[in-house]
Amino acid sequence: MLPSSEPVRVTIPRIGVDADIVPVATDENGALEVPPLDHPEMVGWYRRGPTPGEAGNAVLVGHVDTLRGPAVFFDLGRLRPGDTVEVTRTDGRVAVFSVDGVGAYPKERFPTERVYGGGAEARLRLITCGGRFNPRIGSYPDNIVVFATAAR
């Protein structure tokens, strides 16, 4: 387990992600904020939760796409158990996680406790949108969630 230190970069070799991380919070409705759409290559870290490598569930969020094309987490659903996620922190350490599984959840049945819940282990949750884009409402009906546990 690592002490608290803000994340600055995430690397996911299997899907070619190497992205800067910015802190995000929740909006006035309690929904998790995401990086601005004009920066679809960035990943957000939920700053009110643990930092990657600390005990508990650290949460990273990124866009799946924009009007211009694929975004940082476009291929997130392709991750498989055993794949590696590395998070570089401001203290220079790299928290390494191994993917346990990937799930797709309708937004109205989002697994909030499984994503944000605490625990003694250092875990990571990666979130993006999923399903078929609904142009009528301008969003996706589902979320893709990757569940990972600290590898070392």
Both tokens of 129, joined, read 């949108």
Q: Specify the pLDDT at position 29.
A: 85
Q: Specify the pLDDT at position 152.
A: 63
Residue found under tokens 């995401």: 34
Average pLDDT over residues 13-38: 93
Q: Which domains are delineated in the chain?
A: 7-150 (2.40.260.10)
Record the pTM: 0.95
> Is the per-residue pLDDT at 148 higher than 70?
yes
Average pLDDT over residues 106-112: 91
